[in-house]
Amino acid sequence: MIKTISYPKVNEWPKLMQRPVVNQSSLYELAETMFKEIQQDGDVAVSKYSQKFDGTLYNFSPIGIDVIDKAESKVLVSLKKSIEEAYHNIYKFHASQQETVKKIETTQGVECWRESRPIDKVGIYIPGGSAPLFSTVLMLGIPAKIAQCKEVVLCTPPDKNGEINPIILYVANLVGIHKVYAVGGIQAIAAMALGTESIPKVDKIFGPGNQYVTAAKQIAQLYGTAIDMPAGPSEVLVIVDDTCDPEFVAADLLSQAEHGPDSQVILLSNNGKVIDDVNQALIKQLEKLSRKDIAEKALQHSRAILFESIDECINFSNSYAPEHLILAIRNTEDKIGEIQSAGSVFLGNYSCESVGDYASGTNHTLPTNGFARSYSGVSLDSFVKKITFQTVTEVGLKNIGPSVELMAEAENLMAHKNAVTIRLNKMNKL
């Protein structure tokens, strides 16, 4: 059961929006120490920390193609069919994001356009602990493939026997990733950011992870490696009215709560009875979960809030900026324009978040911790660079040059002005 707050005043909202706080100062110190050691000692340091934190030795090489090929036989046929269906939908949605080059004449004789180029080397981190997220291999591997990234490196922690979950290997092979390394945690992020004797240095790192991985990704940026986005514990905010199905809503809240004890779920409504009904459904469904203990811990810092209206609920949501937003209300289409900050939005009683997590086609790698106010989720654009081009003819320079001269002189950048003036003077002499 989650705690209910009724009709909070606007000045009380910031407190209600607080996420679970984790003291990361010690994590950053650990990550910095490990980065420095891996930068100096490479694979030896990676293996040292793999043994220390995961209880396995890193074997200084990628997983063999034969091991990857054999993994397919260990995956149920029914699961492979489901994964292939998800692959198709995710591929179709992300392929639709490819842009056609548009050349624009901004002034007569001046033409500008933009083209995409793939990021050459990308690294993908896939958690492999209590819930090996093979679905994230699809979410990150597919757009990397469409973008035509030249090299894709995948790191994921092995089990106690030093083996990688066969489903992860099967999906990696399906999306065309063949450089797979059995290493996790901070040491995996550092290896991809810095490069070691066996693990290539990459230009950008993608993927979710625990607080250690999150800290490591932040440190990676200091070493010149980009990351997909700031990440934190997973979260969902659900807005409901009397048209919702309380059992559906409870299931959605629990599906997020089972991610981890630091996950957060928020329920907003204009109807107190609906909140009570959802709480009763939560109690019943919680008892049947295999990850009950994890979900219970997440619910301890989650909350339900009763507002006067759905519009007020949406205003709160926009300020909270949830990773996932579910609208189980009447006339959801009418409210789309009011949604300003959210990672991914699910409309209606049957649009459960689980569908987006796995197979609808949208990407499930999304901004958390309020970063949806300024970041988008992963898309095809995340794997490409946008380069602008321009062509200026003699006519174009005659048209736009005098303005450039005046602006450059006003900024006291006379060499900038001169680059135009020399050309104009030569044209005038011809």
Nearest to 46 by CA among 62, 33, 60: 60
CA distance 158 to 181: 9
Query: 267 has which bridge partners?
Result: 238, 304
Residue 310: how many other CB atoms lie within 10 Å:
21
AA letter at 7? Y
Active-site annotation, residues:
323-324
CA distance 146 to 159: 31
What would the pLDDT profile of 363-400 be if each residue is shown by its tens digit? Answer: 999 999 999 999 999 999 999 999 999 999 999 999 99
Handedness of CA 197, 173, 134, 167 (dihedral sign): negative
Identify the CATH homologous superfamily for domain 25-227. Answer: Nitrogenase molybdenum iron protein domain (3.40.50.1980)
Q: Which residues of 280-290 are buried (b: 16+ CB within 10 A; e: fewer)?
A: ebbeebbeeee
The first and second tokens of residue 40, run together, are 């100096």
Domain 232-374 coded CATH 3.30.43.10: no
CA distance 344 to 56: 37
Handedness of CA 288, 238, 348, 363 (dihedral sign): negative
Tokens 């949406």 correspond to what residue? 314
- pTM of the complete model: 0.93
CA distance 192 to 205: 8
CATH 1.20.5.1300 region(s) of the chain? Answer: 393-429
The first and second tokens of residue 264, run together, are 């957060």
- Tell me, letter by letter, the H, E, C secondary structure of the chain: CCEEEECCCHHHHHHHCCCCCCCCHHHHHHHHHHHHHHHHHCHHHHHHHHHHHHCCCCCCCCCCHHHHHHHHHHCCHHHHHHHHHHHHHHHHHHHCCCCCCCCEEEECCEEEEEEEEECCEEEEECCCCCCCCHHHHHHHHHHHHHHCCCEEEEEECCCCCCCCCHHHHHHHHHCCCCEEEECCHHHHHHHHHHCCCCCCCCCEEECCCCHHHHHHHHHHHHCCCEECCCCCCCEEEEEECCCCCHHHHHHHHHHHHCCCCCCEEEEEECCHHHHHHHHHHHHHHHCCCCCHHHHHHHHHCCEEEECCCHHHHHHHHHHHCCCEEEEECCCHHHHHHHCCCCCEEEECCCCCHHHHHHCCCCCCCCCCCCHHHCCCCCCHHHHEEEEEEEEECHHHHHHHHHHHHHHHHHCCCHHHHHHHHHHHHHHHHC
**Along the 430 residues of the chain, how does pLDDT read in single tens digits?**
899 999 999 999 999 999 887 677 788 999 999 999 999 999 999 999 999 998 888 888 999 999 998 999 999 999 999 999 999 999 999 999 999 999 999 999 999 999 999 999 999 999 986 668 899 999 999 999 999 999 999 999 998 888 899 999 999 999 999 999 999 999 999 999 999 999 999 999 999 888 889 899 999 999 999 999 987 788 999 999 999 999 999 999 999 999 888 899 999 999 999 999 999 999 999 999 999 999 999 999 899 999 999 999 999 999 999 999 999 999 999 999 999 999 999 999 999 999 999 999 999 999 999 999 999 999 999 999 999 999 999 999 999 999 999 999 999 999 999 999 999 999 988 7
Fold of 393-429: 1.20.5
CA distance 199 to 179: 9
The predicted pLDDT at position 129 comes to 64
CA distance 86 to 90: 6
The predicted pLDDT at position 165 comes to 93
383 alpha carbon, distance to own chain's centre: 12
Phi-psi region of 220 (alpha: psi -120 to 50; beta: other; left: phi over 0): alpha
* Main-chain dihedrals φ then ψ at residue 60, nearest 5 degrees: 65, 25
The predicted pLDDT at position 130 comes to 61
CATH 3.40.50.1980 region(s) of the chain? Answer: 25-227, 232-374
The first and second tokens of residue 298, run together, are 């997440």
Instruction: Report yes or no: 399 and 369 within 8 Å, Cβ to Cβ.
Output: no
381 alpha carbon, distance to own chain's centre: 12
